[in-house]
Structure 1
Amino acid sequence: MITQTATPTTHESKQLLTVKDMALTAMFAVLIAVCSWISIPTAVPFTMQTFAVFCAVSMLGGKRGFFAVLVYILLGAVGIPVFSGFKGGLGVLLGATGGYIIGFLVIPALCLLTEKLFGKKLIVEILSMIVGLTLCYAFGTAWFIKVYTDTKGDMTLANALKFCVLPFILWDMLKLALAIVLSTAVKKRVRI
């Protein structure tokens, strides 16, 4: 009598995200929400969102950081009050400042791309976050001008930059530096 033994196949399907990845993604989506509630209301609210986005990208990397930001945006889109001022819903995303929120996705996407091209190096991470933030500003400002002009009247690029970008540059650079220092310290002690 001949018996056959089943040979295990080595074909392993790759998961997009593991359970650990999903838990970290959810945790950082919540961190972004909590940091968005810490705000000073202005034309574009001054919040700690960018700090949380930088932390998510620095601690989790581009892929998981992208999903954390995406989950945060989707939670807000369905009406959960995760945006500044405890607001939620598509109206916020389609409003004048919605472009800045959607533009947050550029930061981890660019970091993911640079990770693939240059590896995970601190200087590459910092530069990609600065470029990503600049692209977020550009997208958000174009969105702001379009929505503001359609709903309230003319808005020039100079005025949009004066209200929506220039007051935030220094603070966002400080938040980036703080996020990098904090993330580096955490990554030395905890394997994320």
Structure 2
Amino acid sequence: MKTKPLVYAAVMAALITLCAWITIPTVVPFTLQTFAIFLAVGVLGGKLASLSVAVYLLLGAVGLPVFSGFSGGLGPFSGVTGGYLLGFLLIALVMWGAEALLGRSPIIFVMSGIVGLAVCYAFGTAWFVLMYAASTGPIGVASALWTCVIPFLLPDGVKLALALVLSRRLAPVLARARA
């Protein structure tokens, strides 16, 4: 890989970090991480966006305070929201797969973003239910959905739409800079 794409991936990993720090604390905190992931896919494409998310997760795993609440290390991965952290990579991978198979049209971007979110929600909620049961006691799937998914549907839809608009403006500028 050449230097410029790696720098772009690193910048997007930094953007994901900044978006993690913008937090409304709840059981599953409201952050702008999904916005940054969507923007990374829209601007860089799925391959570099997936690399950006992987770098972000690795930085957090080694202890840098890149996650919400300025946390880092392996603790956040083993907590109730750890599945959502891993789900961020699943979003980027799903969007990359759709991009590779179907192209980079706005409709593909939106549809793959929705599918990626659904995969993230499913994985993260299953993780939440298991970790919550281990640490606190059993929780029903309906309660977990009302805690972990339902409140995020509208905000994540807005983040996806905003990322689409911004990436459509930024991608051509970045393409010219790459030349």
Q: TM-score under structure 2 normalisation?
A: 0.95
2:42 corresponds to: 58
2:169 is aligned, of 180, 185, 190, to 185
1:154 corresponds to: 138
2:21 corresponds to: 37
If each structure's helix is expressed as a fraction of its own residues, which one has the higher value? 2
Contact kept in structure 2, 1:44 and 1:164, CA below 8 Å: yes
Asked if residue 22 in structure 1 is aligned to residue 6 in structure 2, the reply is yes
Whole-angstrom CA distance in 1 between matches of 2:96 and 2:158:
22
Whole-angstrom CA distance in 2 between matches of 1:132 and 1:177:
14
Secondary structure at 1:46's aligned position in 2? coil
Secondary structure at 2:65's aligned position in 1? coil
The size of the alignment, in residue pairs, is 176
2:111 corresponds to: 127
How much identity, in percent, do the aligned residues show?
A: 52
1:48 is aligned, of 21, 29, 32, to 32
Q: Give the aligned residue type for 1:43.
A: V
- Shift of residue 190, structure 1, vs aligned partner: 3.1
Whole-angstrom CA distance in 2 between matches of 1:80 and 1:110:
26
Contact kept in structure 2, 1:61 and 1:108, CA below 8 Å: no
CA RMSD after TM alignment = 1.0
- Shift of residue 111, structure 1, vs aligned partner: 1.5
2:126 corresponds to: 142
1:9 corresponds to: none
Structure 2 regions of 5+ residues with no counterpart? none
- Shift of residue 108, structure 1, vs aligned partner: 1.4
Whole-angstrom CA distance in 1 between matches of 2:84 and 2:174:
31
Whole-angstrom CA distance in 1 between matches of 2:61 and 2:174:
32
Whole-angstrom CA distance in 2 between matches of 1:23 and 1:61:
14
Q: Which protein, 1 or 2, shows the higher relative CO under an 8 Å CA cutoff with sep ≥ 6?
A: 2
Contact kept in structure 2, 1:63 and 1:112, CA below 8 Å: yes
Pick the structure with greater CA Rg.
Answer: 1
Secondary structure at 1:47's aligned position in 2? coil
Q: Give the aligned residue type for 1:31.
A: L
Whole-angstrom CA distance in 1 between matches of 2:29 and 2:104:
32
Structure 1 regions of 5+ residues with no counterpart? 1-16
Contact kept in structure 1, 2:44 and 2:171, CA below 8 Å: no
- The Cα offsets for residues 113-133 of structure 1, whole Å up to 9 and x where unpaired, read as 112211222211110111001
Secondary structure at 2:72's aligned position in 1? coil
Q: TM-score under structure 1 normalisation?
A: 0.89
